[in-house]
Amino acid sequence: MQLTDEIISSATDGIIGFIIAQYAEDFELPLLEAAMRFYLSNTYQLLQDPLTGLYWDSIPETYNLFLKEIMER
């Protein structure tokens, strides 16, 4: 089965929602602030690029990639 843009978009939407909610909870941030930080991250850019295949990785793995990026700033 070939992955369509719609399927990839649905997968990334779920991943994004989880990461933002988890980040807000873990760091006691308002959801809007957590969302802004994630949307400005390199991890988000990688997730949006279907060629990286990041949407196929596990959600915790992607979240850890984001946390690593945040901690290195």
Which 8-state DSSP code applies to residue 50?
A: G
pLDDT value for 72: 94
How many residues are present in the chain? 73
Domain spans, the chain: 5-71
Q: Residue 11: helix, strand or coil by DSSP?
A: helix
pLDDT one digit per residue (tens) for the chain, 73 residues: 466 888 888 889 999 999 999 999 999 999 999 999 999 999 999 999 989 989 888 999 999 999 999 999 8
Specify whether the CB–CB gap between 63 and 18 falls below 8 A. Answer: yes
pLDDT value for 36: 98
